[in-house]
Structure 1
């Protein structure tokens, strides 16, 4: 009997981190030993549950291929940390579309992020990617959440939030309400627009993922007065999210997600002193969910 047969008889664990920019998967054996990692397209529930499962399935298949193992949903226990599960209808739809798996545990990506970042210990995270959300875990293991109400009204300091405000500057430039400059030219190039009408076409098709593609240009042009004001506002939003979850200012803080490293120099000094590197990512937190939910074969 081969090693892979021995492993697969007890099933596999899949930790899945799904957001608006992409999906990250960790494949492990039933004992939690990592076998492979893979990534795929976005699987935030706001983009549709069928699209979410398609992205998750594709990423899981890649993980099994990377490990040189056959892929079978029936052998898998899934832990999912997903953006959008706070919408009961989206969550119900996601569960209804689930393939036949050994076990399935679904939580907010905020919970899996704080679980991974602090290794299950007490702490605060602010997840900064296409969307944003803050979460804390106390000594009793109770999770609290702040922000994360979704784009466009919430998700402060997220990539989509930055991109939406950056394109407002571009609109002002195209109208002559602000002067053209290097930042506006870079924004035009990124959107593929050349004038007012072509930008309107871009705006009509844009969703949170598309707006987030403009966020890197805010950091690149950080010395531009408008971009600098925007980043200062975002840093204050991050500080406020942390303060809502830890008013005493005692817990360690981890900035997580694709924009975390870019934001760190901008957060206020008092908060920056408490910032710690995350121990692991949201996919690792989701893998812990899978481990807890896993049912060995009888």
Structure 2
């Protein structure tokens, strides 16, 4: 019998990453693909499998080898049981699968399985603490009703306030000019674009906002300050439930960190390991729990 392999997957609103380890924890290969948010249903599954196959190819393996892979899938959009059930109902080629949110696998990796908290501030936004065996969620309910403080929200607010500027309800600043240039200063173009835009499309405006906020742009600064308040509120709650520190996850976090009040900056730490390693840890824990149940 050939030795088992372990695949960790981190699927977010913009990108999916996969990493393959052997039984001893040695990295064999890595792969990436597009958005792995489970709310995208079959499209997300296709991206997850593409990333996993790319990792297998990077490791010099063949398609048949996926049958000895135990896969931990940390996917955005799996907060609800029915979303996880959808993923598990798909014809996945793996020996076994564990599915949970990308926030949970990020937490496992960030603190290497110990108590702590993470706050994801990227295209999306989600906080999670694990304290004394209990999981406590803070936001993470998706772009439709949450994602406050995220790159998506920062980008959407930039477009909204730039339209205000065009209508004389906000200052016409360099940021507003730069955003409006994307739509030829014609609001219907923005409306048409927004009709099919993804969270990642909105989030693509966030670097522009931070660039202008650093120059004290009068339109950009309030947007970043609002996002910093959202991040601070989430950190405060994670500390309140007993987390000793908050690991910073996501591409927006390094940009928002200088805008946070000093007491909140002080408790933010770098993750020990990344979400992909956390997903591998998750599938190993699931297999250990299953083995324990059989021996009981």
Task: Report what 1:30 is aligned to.
Answer: 23
Name whichever of 33-42 and 50-59 sits farther off: 33-42
Which of the pair has the greater relative contact order for Cα pairs under 8 Å at 6+ separation? 1
Q: Offset of 1:11 from its aligned partner? A: 2.6
Q: Deviations over 1:122-164 (max 9, x none)?
A: 21211111111001122x3332111111113211111111111
Partner of 2:196: 205
TM-score calculated relative to the size of structure 2: 0.90
Partner of 1:181: 173
Secondary structure class of the residue paired with 1:221 = helix
Secondary structure, counterpart of 2:200 in structure 1: helix
1:214 aligned to 2:200?
A: no
Q: 2:253 aligns with which of 243, 260, 263?
A: 260
Aligned length: 285
> CA contact under 8 A between 1:77 and 1:293: conserved in structure 2?
no
Does the 8 A contact of 1:53 with 1:98 survive in 2? no
Contact 1:30 1:291 in 2 (8 A): no
Contact kept, 8 Å, 1:126 with 1:242, in 2: the verdict is yes
Flag the 1:174–1:275 CA change in 2: closer, same or farther, 3 A: same
Which sections of structure 2, spanning at least 5 residues, go unmatched?
A: 289-296
RMSD over aligned CA atoms reads 1.9
Q: Measure the CA separation in 1 of the matches of 2:77 and 2:164.
A: 32
1:145: which partner in 2?
A: 137
* Cα distance per residue 1:218-263 (max 9 Å; x no partner): 1111121222112112112112112222217761121111112111
**Any idea what SS the aligned residue of 2:6 has?**
strand
User: TM-score scaled by structure 1?
Assistant: 0.89
| Cα distance, 1:78–1:162 mapped onto 2, change above 3 Å | same
Cα distance in 1 for partners of 2:165, 2:210 equals 19
What are the ranges of 5 or more consecutive residues in structure 1 without an aligned counterpart?
Answer: 1-5
Q: Which residue of 1 aligns with 2:50?
A: 58
Q: Please point out which of 260, 264, 271 is paired with 2:264.
A: 271
